[in-house]
Amino acid sequence: MKRVTISIPSYLSELGVEISTKLKEVSVCSQFIYYQSIVDISETIRAGEIDCLLIDISHDIDLRQQELITRNFDSVPTIKITTGVKLNTSTTMSVDGKDTEGALITNILQLAVLHSKESPPEYVPNQRLIVKDSGHIHVIKVEDLAWVGGAGNYVELHMINRQRSILHRDTMSSMEKSLKTFGFSRIHKSSLVNLNAISELKTRDNGDYDVILENGDSLHLSRRYKQNLSALLQPT
């Protein structure tokens, strides 16, 4: 889920609840930093920790606040609101010094898409899978699992430090839901990979990629799932 940090006047906390509810409907998690004076959050804004700043222009803003807004916050997406504003009220949104008109929630949704970040997955150390295979019961640490491959009504569990795969009666969709929290990502309709087990990405002549894992296995990155490895494909 994506997340976005919004700063809003403290007396508009009820509006913050409404905004949060709307953002959840589009799978965006919101964090609010409430302020009494813009001066109070100036350092937070300079540090780039705020994705969207709401300013109530119906309140008197002293000269010091006005100077801060003019000189320092041009690069911070800002939405000008008035006390009692509703989600569908027309507001002015300023991004990089350019103003556009639109409903409050529409403007916030646009900023959420542009500036939101992926929430880091929660990691539980030593999480284990209990797997039955050929009369054996295997206890597998999730971090030892390199990738999962589809095999009809089963999945094959491929370990980082083990040559033989383990057959497990489950579906790819179910495994994807179970392992997504632990840093696994779908790279093909029949492949689910542990991102921490990737050692190399090789480019094919047609622009596709082969994903090379620490155990030596090579998997094809489907174009359909290329965005799942977008962070690894970005040039450094």
31 pLDDT above the threshold of 80: yes
- Residue listed under structure tokens 């929290």: 181
Q: State pLDDT tens for residues 121-179.
A: 444 455 777 787 667 777 888 888 999 999 988 899 999 887 678 888 888 988 888 88
CB neighbours (10 Å) of residue 55? Answer: 22
What distance in Å separates the CA atoms of residue 105 and residue 22, rounded to the nearest whole number?
A: 8
Architecture of domain 2-118 in CATH? 3-Layer(aba) Sandwich (3.40)
Task: Single out the residue of 206, 204, 210 nearest to residue 229, CA to CA.
Answer: 210
Every domain range in the chain assigned CATH 3.40.50: 2-118
Q: State pLDDT tens for residues 18-30.
A: 888 888 887 778 8
Report the predicted TM-score, pTM, of the whole model to 2 decimal places: 0.47
Please check whether residue 142 is in contact with residue 127, taking contact to mean a CB–CB distance below 8 angstroms.
yes
CATH of domain 128-233: 2.40.50.1020
Phi and psi, residue 90, nearest 5°:
-70, 130
Every domain range in the chain assigned CATH 2.40.50.1020: 128-233
Which of 1-5, 19-23, 34-38, 49-53 is the least confident region? 1-5
Band (219; pLDDT cuts 50, 70, 90): very high
